[in-house]
Structure 1
Amino acid sequence: MIRTIIVEDDPMVADLAAGYLERIDGFCLDHIARSGEAGLELLQTCHVDLVLLDVFMPGMDGMELLRIIKSQFFHSDVIMITAAQNREDILKALRLGVADYIVKPFTFERFRESMLQFQEKRRLLLSPEVPMTQDILDRRIFIKKPEGVAGRPKGVDAQTLETVVSVLRKQVAPFSLKDIEQLTGISRISLKKYFDYLMEAGRLGSAKDYGGQGRPVTLYNWLG
């Protein structure tokens, strides 16, 4: 689980972000801090993987806290969620190494895209079985090659991908496309695109099963 805190002085925005985060698998909201000072205290006392950070707050603002995070808490990543749209703040945030910059007001779709992209990059970077080839770096980490939204190939929808991944995570024994078709109601032709994408990303393994009569069946296993 990606342990997350929200640093936001507006209760409505904080609650909205918290509600959105609860709808995405793989994230755990540990705390909501109502000020930069409270956020810093959490960072000093808890293990935090991800900070969802506002800019405009009384006292210590988000930019000041961001500078502290990047100089002292190297294991914590930051995604800005803010109304700040001036070039100076955006440039500062990018130069300090934020993972993403979301402008208020924001939709669930934009929020989810950001979280899933962060989750995928983190998984790739922390998984020793995934080779850090130039192709993986270009298409999954730095996303230099033209692809769909959030680094996905065209035809791979974020919501459908989330549904497929949610089902695959629960599979203990090897499974076929037909098995997942029955569980999701998604056709095998459509599922194949998602399986190919997940295999290329190192999240899905496969092997041929020659045990039955006729053509061998491809069985898959979830790698995480």
Structure 2
Amino acid sequence: MIKTLIVEDDPMVAKFNRVYVEKVEGFEPVGMVTDVKQAWDFLKENTVDLILLDVYMKNTTGLEMLMEMRKTGSPVDAIVITAANDNQSIQTALRYGAVDYLIKPFHFDRFKESLLRYRHKQEIIEKGESVTQADLDPFLLQSQRVSSSVELPKGLTTLTFSHIAKQILKKKQEAFSAADIAEKTGISQVSVRKYLHYLVDSDVLETDVIYQSTGRPLHQYRLNPEKAEFIQSLQAAEEQ
């Protein structure tokens, strides 16, 4: 289990973060503290793998704690969760090793994606054997392409997209329906159609309408081979 400490001075936000952590398999919330001093005290007495770190707190900010952690060689990782959306705060957090940066308010899907991506990285590193470039590339390269270069419409998440993209790539040039993807991923057909429609609008998928014996139209999709690289970039954050 990945032991997670929540450092947040807003009791309601801290409570929600704890509930969120408990929903993600492989993570265990081991404590909640309200400021940096309490966080340091907790770290001295307890084993912690990951900190969910707020920025704006009394006396010492979360970014100052993150900088001190790196200066002292602390092995604990941190995901910054904050309302701070200015460039300087973001650059500082990333420069000092934050594994992710979530801007409040955020959706649970984005939070879950962040934790799953972190868990995936830990599983790769802690395999107990040599890690190949092929092991690292899906995490280091594809996840970056999704998060930085693919601007998804509101309501669509990279985590769900990764599952759908994986199944589309398996189809290659074979036609498929929303029902086919829903069956393989466990995602509802209604949700799958939203993602497929986005890909059709982006010219990534081609679509045909076939009328069944009942007279009802069946939409079938096929990957545009010229857009295969785009769909490959969406196959990131795959839930393990």
TM range (shorter): 0.5 to 0.7
Provide structure 1 residue ranges, at least 5 long, that are not aligned to the other structure: 158-185, 192-223
Q: Which residue of 1 aligns with 2:75?
A: 75
- In structure 2, distance between residues paired with 1:30 and 1:135: 33
Shift of 1:57: 0.2
Q: Give the equivalent residue in structure 2 for 1:29.
A: 29
Specify the alignment match of 1:149 in structure 2.
158
Q: 2 CA distance for matches of 1:61 and 1:117?
A: 26
- TM-score scaled by length of structure 1: 0.65
Distance, in Å, in 2 between the alignment partners of 1:80 and 1:61 is 11
Output the TM-score relative to the length of structure 2: 0.61
Cα RMSD between the aligned structures? 2.9
CA displacement at 1:146 relative to structure 2: 5.0
**Which fold has the larger relative contact order, with Cα–Cα distance below 8 Å and residues 6 or more apart in sequence?**
2
Q: What are the Cα deviations for residues 143-169 of structure 1, in whole angstroms up to 9, with x where unaligned?
A: 368569359464359xxxxxxxxxxxx
Deviation at residue 132 of structure 1 after TM alignment: 2.1
CA distance in 1, matches of 2:39, 2:143: 33
User: What is the CA–CA distance in structure 1 between the aligned matches of 2:126 and 2:61, rounded to whole Å?
Assistant: 31
When Rg is computed on C-alpha atoms for both structures, the one with the higher figure is: 2
Percent of aligned positions that are identical = 35
Structure 2, unaligned runs of 5 or more: 147-156, 168-179, 186-239
Cα gap change, 1:146 to 1:89, in 2 (>3 Å): closer
Question: How many residue pairs align between the two structures?
Answer: 165
Q: Distance in 2 between matches of 1:84 and 1:152?
A: 28
Return the letter of the residue paired with 1:83. Answer: A
Alignment of 1:1-224 (within 5 A): 1-129=1-129, 131-143=130-142, 149=158, 152=162, 154-156=164-166, 190=184
Aligned to 2:214: none
Amino acid at match of 2:18: A
